Amino acid sequence: MIGQPLPRVEDRRFVTGNGKYTDDLQIEGQTYAAFLRSPHAHAGLLSVDISAALDAPGVIAVLVGRDYLEDGYQGVDHVPNPIDAVDATKKAFLTSLTGQIFNQRHIPLPVDRVRYVGEPIAMVIAQTPLAARNATEMIEVEYDVLDAVVNAADAMQDGAPQMWDGAPGNLCFQAQIGERDEARRIIAGAPLVVQREFHHSRVVNCQMEPRSAIGAYDGETGVYTLISGSQGAVRQKLCLADALKVPPAQVRVVCPDTGGGFGPRSFIYVEQLAVVWAARRIGRPVRWTSDRSEAFLSDYQGRDAIVRATFGFSKDGRILAIDNEWLGNVGAHTVSYVSMSNGTRIMTTVYDVPVAAVHISAVMTNTVPTAPYRGAGRPEATHVIERMLDLAAAELGLDRAEIRRRNLIAHEKLPYRSPMGLTYDSGEFARNMTRALELAEWNSFSERRAAARANGRLRGIGLANYIESPVGAPRERIELTVLPEGRIDIVAGTQSTGQGHETTFAQVIAQHLGVPMASVTLRTGDTAFVSVGGGSHSDRSMRLGGMLLVDTAAQIVATARQVAAALFDASPERVAFADGGFADPASDRRIGLFEVAARIASDGVPGDPAQRKLYAHAEVNTRVPAHPTGAAVCELEVDPDTGVVELVNYTSVDDVGQPINPLIVEGQVHGGLAQGIGQALSETCYLDRATGQVLTGSYMDYGMPRAGAIPPLRVELTEDPTHGNPLRVKGGGESGITPATATIFNALADALKEFGNEELAMPATPKVVWEYIHRRAG
Amino acid sequence: MAEVQLRVNGVDVEHDVPDQTLLVEFLRETLRLTGTHVGCDTSQCGACTVNLDGVSVKSCTVLAAQASGGAVTTVEGLRADQDAPLHPVQNAFVQCHGLQCGFCTPGMIMSVDFYLRRPPKLDEESICHALEGNICRCTGYVNIIEAVRHAAHDLYPALAGATAEGSQS
C-alpha cells in the first residue's frame, strides 16, 4: 500500500458535489453577520454611529469593539513567536535588541484606531445576509485620517507613522543571529563581495474557499462552538478559549471540509472570534461568509520581506561568509514571526558556508497582517542564496552549476550542522543537482538559446538547489481503534486542507495492519473527539502523524497478539502476525484482527478484563527533523517587444523521503510550483505606497495563475533515506514552491543578461520586464 | 419577488424569490444544492459553473429569474442518481488526481463536461483555453489538464490515437 499512486478515497464526495464546506452547513435559528470595514489604511475612529443601522429592516444587533471589551473578553493572542526549529521547549526568538518581543492582543473590532484598509470596525447581525450587508452601509463613522506606511523599510524611518505604543519605531523585535563580527571580518577581506537587496513581494493566499465561520453558544452548558474551515482545530480552540476567558473545555471547534490552507488558516481570524461572541450576545447562531473582495482585504497575506544580502566569496567561488539583513513586514497586528524564524534557520540551505549572520527586524505597517504562506521563509532564503551564487558566478566567470558544486555540502559530511544550527541527516545534494541538469539538458542549452535568438526571442535557463526545515507545531496525537464490525478508526490531530489524508493515512494503516484500505476511516477536525494535535502545516502531517500511526499500529498488534496467544494457548512470541491475522504455526490456528477485536469486546484483554476495546494512542511533542531537498531547473523565453515571459519547461528533482502516495506527492509539487510561478511572474498585492490603498482587490486585478501558466513539467522523486522517523517521510508540500522563484529569477536574469545585471522587481510582470529591457532607451 | 420555474437535474422546481436572487443563490440557498460553489464576486473563478440549457454558465452571473423556464444541470446532476457510477469527467478527475481541496472541482467538472460535449481538441492550448474561466489554487492545473484528456478518451475512444497529433500542433 505504501508507495502506491492510488486515487484518493475522499475524491468521490468532492467530484459529486457532496463535499461539506462551512458555508454548505445550516444551523437551526441561524442569523447572518456582515462587517463594516475601514476604507482607510490608518485612521482614528472619532465616532461610530450605529443608530440608523440598528433601525434597518431585519437587523438584530450591531456590535462594535467597545461592546466586546464591555463583555469582559480580551483580544486574541496569536502566539506570533513560534517554537524553535531545533529545541521544542523553546521559542524561536528569545531576545530582542529592542528589549522586548512585541505581542499585541488582537481584538475583533478596534476601539479607537484602524490600521489597515479592510480592518473590520462594526459587525451587523441580521435575519438575512442582504439585510446585514445593507445595514453596514448605514453606519456613520467619523474618521481622523492619519498618515500610513506600508513598506517595511519606510516604516523604520524616523518620523514614520507609528502603529502601536508598545512597538516603538514600529519594531516588534530585532534580533542578531549568528556570528556577525566574524562574518564582517571575513567579508572585509574577501576577494569578491556581492551585495544585493531583494524584495519578496506580498502575495494573497487566495485559497479557493472564501473564509466562513458559524458561531453558536449553548446557554445551559456555557459551551461556545465555532464551525469553520481551518488548518488546525485544536490551536483555534485554545486561542478562542484564551480570548473568551473560559477553560478550553468550554470551546468546541469543528472544522468541516476546508477549501485550501497554505499557511494563514492555521491562525485565528477575528471574524471567527466575532461570530462566537455575537452568538452568545444575541442568543442565536451567527454565520458569516467572506466574499472574495473581503478576502483580498482581510485574509492574512504572505511573504513581504526585504533582504539585504552581503556575501563574501573566495577567488574560486567558495562562499566564505554571509551577513544578511532581513526586514519582515508583520502588518498591522502581530500574527506570526514564523517566516523570519524559518528564513534564518535555513539561510545557508545546501551549501557548506563557514560563517553566517542575519540581522532581523520585524516591522509593523498599515497592511493586512502577514502569516506563514507555503514555504514561509524557505523560498525567500533560497531565492537570496541562489541569486547570489549566480551573481558571483558571473563576476568570477564561473559556470553556474560549477559554483554550486564547489559549495554544496558533501554527502560524506552528513550529518552536517549548519551555521544556523540545523542538522541535516540525509540528502544527496550534488546528485540531485546533477540529475536535474541532466533531465533539463542543461549542457545543450546554448543551441536552444541560439535558435530562440534567431526567432527574436531571449531564452534563459536557471537552476536552484533547495532544502527545507520542516518545523511547525511539535505536538501531535493519533488514536487507533480496531472495531469488531471490521472497521479501523483513526483519530488524528492533523487535518487535510486538500492533501488527501483520508487516503494516505489509510495506506499506512492498511500496510501495517494488513487490512483492506476500505476498512480504515480517518476522523479529524472536531475538538469534541480530537484532544491534541497541531493541524496541517510545515509538512508535519505525515512526518508526525505517520510516526504515530506506525507506533499505534505496533501497539495494536502487540495487544492483539496477547489475546491471540491466550486463545491459542501459546506464548505470544510464537504467534506470528501477517496479512491482518495471527497464526500459531505449531497448532495451525488462525484468528483475524477484527475477530480479536470482537473477542476483546466480549472478554477484555488478558490481565485487564475491563478493557473492552482494541485501542492504542500515541503522542509526540518534540522535533522530528527531516529535510526535504532537491533541485530545480527552469527554461524560459522573453519576448523583448512585449516583456512577456513564457516558461518553456521546468524540471524538479525532489527528495521528499519515502512517498506514501506518489500521485499525491507529485500533485503537491505541481501546486507549490504554480504558487511559486505566480509569485515570480504575476502575483502580488499592489498597495499604494503613500496611502496604503489596496490596488489588487479582486481576481480581475490580482495575477492568479490560470491553466496555461504552468509549463511542461518533469518531476522526478528520489530518496536518500532519513533515519529520523520510521516511515522515512521528509515532506512534499513545500518542495515545489521552495526553489521556484529562485529558479525562475535565475533563468530570467540569464535571458536578460545582455541588458545588465540589476535585480528585476518581483513579480516580473511584462511591464517590469519590458521596462527593464528598454530602461536605457528613454 | 420573482417566480422562478426551473428544471434542475431533471426535477421541476418552482419558487418565489427576491428579484435580485442569483442563479447560484437559488441553487445553493433555495434548493440546498451546495455542490455549486461561490469562489469570487467578479465572475472570474468559475467555481459556480453549471449548465443552463446546454450551455456552460457562471451561475453567479445569471439571475434566477433570467434562467426561469430553463433546464439546469449541476454537479449533483451529472449522474442519474447517487448510486450510479461516476460520470466520465468525475471519474477522470479522481483517476488523474485532478483535485486537492475540492472547492473549485464542481465548477471545473462542469466546464470540462461542457467542453467535452462535442469532440474536443486536446492540445495543451485548446484545453487551457477551455479552462481559462476556472481558477484552481491547489493543483497547478497539471492533473486537471490530464483529466480532460482522460475523460475525452473515455467519451471519444477514437480520439485516443489523435491526441499525439493534437499535442504536436
Q: Count of CB atoms within 10 A of residue B136's CB?
A: 31
Residues on chain A touching B85 (C-beta within 8 angstroms): none
What is the rounded average pLDDT for all residues in chain A?
96
The two counts, helices (H) then strands (E), for chain A are 20, 28
The alpha carbon of residue A408 is apart from the nearest alpha carbon of chain B, in Å, by: 30
What is the separation of C-alpha A496 from the centre of its chain, rounded to a whole number of angstroms? Answer: 13
Residue B53 has pLDDT above 60, yes or no: yes
Neighbour order of strands in the sheet with B55-58: B11-17, B2-8, B71-73, B49-52, B55-58
CA distance A757 to chain B (A): 31
Measured distance CA(A421)–CA(A429) in Å, rounded? 18
CA distance B104 to chain A (A): 7
What is residue A655's predicted lDDT score, i.e. its pLDDT?
97
B28: Cβ contacts below 8 Å, ≥ 6 apart: A24, B34, B36, B38
Q: What is the pLDDT of residues A130-154, one digit of tens each?
A: 999 999 999 999 999 999 999 999 9
- With b for 16 or more beta-carbon neighbours within 10 A and e for fewer, the A301-315 pattern comes to bbbbbbbbbbbbbee
| DSSP states along A119-177 | -EEEEEEESSHHHHHHHHTT-EEEEEE-----SHHHHTSTTPPP--TTSGGGEEEEEEE
Q: Share the mean pLDDT of chain B.
A: 94
**A328, A363 Cβ separation under 8 angstroms:** yes
* pLDDT tens column, B5-34: 999 999 999 999 999 999 999 999 999 999
User: What is the radius of gyration, based on Cα positions, of chain B?
Assistant: 16
Closest approach of chain A CAs to the CA of B162, in angstroms? Answer: 20
The mean pLDDT value for A706-714 works out to: 91
What ipTM, to 2 d.p.?
0.96
Residue A750 pLDDT exceeds 80 = yes
Instruction: Pick the more confident residue, B61 or A778.
Output: B61
Residue numbers of B between 105 and 164 with CB closer than 8 Å to A: 105-106, 109, 124-125, 127-129, 131-132, 134-145
A696 neighbourhood in chain B, CB within 8 Å: none
Which has the higher per-residue pLDDT, A574 or B160? A574
**Closest CA of chain A from B87, distance in Å:** 9
Candidate from B131, B135, B145 with C-beta closest to A704: B135
pLDDT confidence of residue A778: 55
Task: Pick from A6, A20, A208, A714 the residue to mutate for testing the B interface (most B CBs within 10 Å).
Answer: A208
The pLDDT, as a whole number, for residue A130 is 94
Q: What is the 3-class SS of A639-663, one letter each residue?
A: CCCCCCEEEEEEEEEEECECCCCHH
Cβ–Cβ gap B35/A19 under 8 Å: yes
Measured from the Cβ of residue A88, the count of other Cβ atoms closer than 10 Å reads 16
Reported as half-sphere exposure (CB side, CA atoms, 13 A), residue B139 has a value of 28
**Mean per-residue pLDDT, B83-100:** 97
Name the grid cell of A90. Answer: 523553546
CB contact B86 to A (< 8 Å): yes
Mean pLDDT for the stretch of residues A196-205: 98
| Nearest-by-CA chain B residue for A733 | B138
CA-nearest residue of chain A to B96? Answer: A7
Q: How many CB pairs under 8 A join A and B?
A: 184
Report d(CA A36, CA A19) in Å as an integer. Answer: 30
Helices A233-244 and A270-282: angle between axes, nearest 10 degrees: 50
CA distance B156 to chain A (A): 21
* Confidence category of residue B81, pLDDT binned at 50, 70, 90: confident
Q: Angle at CA A578, nearest 5°, toward A576 and A583?
A: 40
Region A603-630 average pLDDT: 93
Per-residue model confidence as pLDDT tens digits over A279-311: 999 999 999 999 999 999 999 999 999 999 999
Does residue B80 sit at the A interface (CB-CB below 8 Å)?
no
Closest CB to B136: pick one of A208, A666, A673: A208
pTM for the structure as a whole = 0.97
CB contact under 8 A, A293 and B140: no
The predicted model gives A569-595 an average pLDDT of: 95
CB nearest to B39's CB, from A292, A499, A673: A292
**What's the pLDDT at B162?**
56
A706–B141 CB contact, under 8 Å: yes
CB contact under 8 A, B44 and A706: no
* pLDDT tens by residue, A647-687: 999 999 999 999 999 999 999 999 999 999 999 999 999 99
CB-based contact (8 Å) between B82 and chain A?
Answer: yes
**A356-401 pLDDT tens trace:** 999 999 999 999 999 999 999 999 999 999 999 999 999 999 999 9
Coil/strand/helix, residue A261: coil
Predicted pLDDT at A573: 94
* pLDDT at residue B161, rounded to an integer: 65
**Residues of chain A contacting B109 with CB distance shorter than 8 Å:** 15
Q: Answer yes or no: do B45 and A710 touch at CB < 8 A.
A: no
pLDDT given at position A607: 87
3-state secondary structure of A614: strand
Chain A residues close to B88, C-beta within 8 Å:
none
3-state secondary structure of A46: strand
In this complex, which of A210, A261, A666 lies closest to B39 when CB atoms are compared?
A210
